[in-house]
Structures are given as structure tokens and as C-alpha cells.
Amino acid sequence: MGSISLQHVKKSFGEVQIIPDISLDIKDGEFVVFVGPSGCGKSTLLRLIAGLEDTTSGTILLDGQDMTKAPPARRGLAMVFQSYALYPHMTVRDNIAFPLKMAKAPKEVIDQKVEYAARTLNLSSYLDRRPRALSGGQRQRVAIGRAIVREPKAFLFDEPLSNLDAALRVNMRLEITELHQQLKTTMIYVTHDQVEAMTMADRIVVLNAGNVEQFGSPLDLYKKPANRFVAGFIGSPRMNFVDGPEAAKHNAHSIGVRPEHFKLSRDPLANAWKGKVGVAEQLGSDTFLHVHVEGLGLMTIRTDGDQTFSHGDDVYLMPDPTRIYRFDAAGIAL
């Protein structure tokens, strides 16, 4: 079991309020991602759940039990750190066995669990090495191994992939997702990368300045962003925003159109926006066009890779009328 519930959790460091007031309910077995720009309080929130920081006020329940004041060692959670935080003076085997030793498990149990974890994570042939003799990906797996053997109520991941190179990151992303499907244990995963959030999460918590902007499934967030911040944060490339008279035509303070929701033409279209191509980024499968639209500014457009545009081409943009997001003056979705 591993349900986690935050009730009116607040956190300040001295005068600085990091988390004004957050309430969340995470179900047992769920994969929840905290995502947001740096400094949004997502790591602090994770550390509050872990017990590495005190809440200023509010309650944290684990499986319905009040754990607000419990030290980290008693909460039964496991954490994978951004730096992996492996014990450099211990072998891989001892690293993975450490939580079990702390729990005073009998030796046979320790051996058996370490072997099992090592096999699952393809670490069997590295068990007697020290962490410094391992590659980044292997270290990452040791850190996960150390978390698995505890059989925790929930796993906490603090930006675990940010120190890996791009190719490895995609790989580990899949491995962690697969692990979740295998173990079915609650996981909370902190990242600033919205692609990681979209691909891995059952549900995403979008945080901004210590507030929950939206909590929902990846597709909910993509299709029905609650506000302009979420709309801009989720989706890649970013949503294009337009203010002023053009937005007023749609009875909104501002409107947003995703790059993939445009009809694009070289020939004039009725009611279309006219612009000039600035940079064309050709990825092969897709092409991203950065178009300077008269009176509206720079727009990013996604089109298929077969289209060839070059700098200075005149183009006409027609937003898909069913896919226009409308926001009021406070940025709330209409």
C-alpha cells in the first residue's frame, strides 16, 4: 500500500514562502510526476514528503497515517537522488544491501534480495565494483536497486535523469516506466522536463511558484489546460499566444494555438495570418517553422517533414478554429 495525502501543506524558509498551501491526494500504485520550472518548489515538496524537510504547517498522511513529524528513516519511503548519492566507500553489493542492513534483515534475506535486484537491473556482473568504476547509467541503476530492495511504500525520484546524456535518458525513462508497471508501487517523480512528465506519468502535477496549477492526466493537461501557464508549459514546441484585438475577436483576453494546430499555405487564405518564415528547423519527420506574423509577433508552426520552406518565404497561417484556447485577463481558461 502506498497512498500519499497532503493536507494544506505550507513551507517557508525564514521569510521566504516556498509553498503557500498545497493539498494533494496520490492514490496507491499511481505514477505521479511533479513538473514545473526551476524554483517552483517541486523538489522542496518531494523533500517534505520524504521527511528531509519539516513542513511549516499542514499534514502529510502515508496510508492514512499521520507522518508529518516522523523522521525520514521511519517513513518507509525510498528516494533516488539527482546525484544518485551512492556510498562511494561501499561496493555495489553493499550499497544495495545498506537499507536492509539498517533494517537488520537476516543475511540470507539480504543476499537473496540483492541478487534479485541486481538481476532485474542488469547489475549482476558489477556487484563487487565501487560506484566510481561505473558509468552514469549503471550508477543510476544501483540507486534504483537500493530503493527497490526496501520494498518501500512509495518511490521518490528527484530529477534522476538530468545527469545522463540524451540517448541514455530515453532508455532510463523506459526502464523506470517498465519498473513501475512491474512493481505497481506508488512513484513520485520530480522533473523540469515536460516530455518526461508526459511520457511517464499517470497523472501530472504542474507547479508554479509553489502552487498547484493543475493536477490531471497527461492528455487532460494537453487538451484542457486550466490556465495559460499550463497551456504554455505542456506541449513541445510551446503554444503560441496572441493578445489584443485578434484575441478580442474570440471574446478572450488572450488566445493560444499549438504549433500543430495550424493550416499552412503559401497562397493567400481568407482570414488567415500573413507572415514571413524566419528560421526553418528541419527534423526529418517534422519541420518547425518560426514565422514572423505581421502585428502578432513570432509564431512556431509544426508541419510535416516533406514541406520545404526557407528563410524569407511568405506564408499564410490559419488556426484550427476548434483548437483555439481562450484565456481571461487572469490567464484562466475560458
Partner 1 sequence: MATAQTRTLSRIMMAPAVIVLLIWMIVPLVMTLWFSFQNYSLINPMMTGFAGWANYIYVLGDPSFTQSLVNTLILVGGVLAITVIGGTFLALLLDQPIWGQGILRIIVISPFFVMPPVAALIWKNGFMHPGYGVLAHLFEFFGLEPVDWFNQYPLFSVVIIVAWQWLPFATLILLTALQSLSEEQREAAEMDGANAINRFYHIILPHMARSITIVILIQTIFLLGIFAEIRVTTGGGPGYASTNIAFLVFRTGILSNDIGAGSAGGVVAVVIANIVAFFLMRAVGKNLDA
Partner 2 sequence: MARNVSTGTKIGFTFAAWAIALLLFSPILWVLLTAFKTEAEAIANSPTFLPQNFTLENFSAVQDRSDYVKHATNSILVSVGSTLLGLAIGIPAAWAMAFAPTKRTKDVLMWMLSTKMMPAVGVLIPIYLIFRDLRLLDTVHGLTLIMTVINLPIIIWMLYTYFKEIPVDILEAARMDGAELYNEIVHVLVPMAVPGIASTLLLNVILAWNEAFWSITLTSGRAGTLTAFISSFSSPQGLFLAKLSAASLLAIAPILLMGWFSQKQLVRGLTFGAVK
Interface with partner 2 (CB under 8 A)? 50-52, 71-73, 77-79, 81-83, 85-89, 98-99, 102-103, 146, 150, 156
Q: Does residue number 54 form part of the binding site for partner 1 (CB under 8 A)?
A: yes
Compute the C-alpha angle 200/202/204, nearest 5°. 85
Q: How far is the CB of 151 from partner 2 (least distance, A)?
A: 12
Instruction: Find residue 190's DSSP bridge partners.
Output: 34, 158
DSSP 163: T
Q: Are 195 and 237 in contact (CB under 8 A)?
A: no
Q: How far is the CB of 72 from partner 2 (least distance, A)?
A: 4
Instruction: Find residue 302's DSSP bridge partners.
Output: 288
Say which amino acid occupies 71: P
User: Which part of the chain contacts partner 1 (CB under 8 A), choosing from 52-60, 147-155, 242-250, 325-333?
Assistant: 52-60
Nearer to partner 1, 11 or 173 (CB): 11
* Interstrand relation of 203-208 and 31-35 (parallel, antiparallel or unpaired): parallel
Radius of gyration of the chain (CA): 24
Phi and psi for 109 in degrees, rounded to 5? -65, -45
User: Which part of the chain contacts partner 1 (CB under 8 A), choosing from 51-59, 221-229, 239-247, 306-314?
Assistant: 51-59
Q: Binds 217, which of partner 2, partner 1, none (CB < 5 to 8 A, cut-off by type)?
A: none
Nearer to partner 1, 55 or 191 (CB): 55
What SS3 class is residue 321? helix
Instruction: Find residue 5's DSSP bridge partners.
Output: 25, 61
Q: How many residues bind partner 1 (CB under 8 A)?
A: 6
Nearer to partner 1, 11 or 258 (CB): 11
Element (H or E) spanning 147, and its range? helix 136-148
Residue keyed to cell 496572441: 242
Q: Strands of 254-257's sheet, edge to edge?
A: 240-243, 254-257, 325-327
Among 71, 88, 106, 245, binds partner 1 (CB under 8 A): 71
Q: Does residue number 12 form part of the binding site for partner 1 (CB under 8 A)?
A: no
What SS3 class is residue 41? coil
**Phi-psi sector, 183: left (phi>0), alpha (psi -120 to 50), beta:** alpha
Q: Does residue number 51 form part of the binding site for partner 1 (CB under 8 A)?
A: yes
Q: Binds 180, which of partner 2, partner 1, none (CB < 5 to 8 A, cut-off by type)?
A: none
Say which amino acid occupies 204: I
Q: Binds 79, which of partner 2, partner 1, none (CB < 5 to 8 A, cut-off by type)?
A: partner 2
User: Which part of the chain contacts partner 1 (CB under 8 A), choosing from 49-57, 202-210, 271-279, 301-309?
Assistant: 49-57
Among 1, 13, 37, 266, binds partner 1 (CB under 8 A): 13
Q: How far is the CB of 17 from partner 2 (least distance, A)?
A: 18
Q: Binds 288, which of partner 1, partner 2, none (CB < 5 to 8 A, cut-off by type)?
A: none
* Interstrand relation of 273-282 and 77-80 (parallel, antiparallel or unpaired): unpaired
Nearer to partner 1, 54 or 281 (CB): 54
Element (H or E) spanning 211, and its range? strand 211-216
User: Which part of the chain contacts partner 1 (CB under 8 A), choosing from 45-53, 93-101, 219-227, 298-306?
Assistant: 45-53
Q: Binds 144, which of partner 2, partner 1, none (CB < 5 to 8 A, cut-off by type)?
A: none
CB atoms within 10 A of CB 111: 14
Q: Binds 82, which of partner 2, partner 1, none (CB < 5 to 8 A, cut-off by type)?
A: partner 2
Among 29, 52, 94, 237, binds partner 1 (CB under 8 A): 52
Say which amino acid occupies 91: T
Q: Which residues bind partner 1 (CB under 8 A)?
A: 13, 51-54, 71
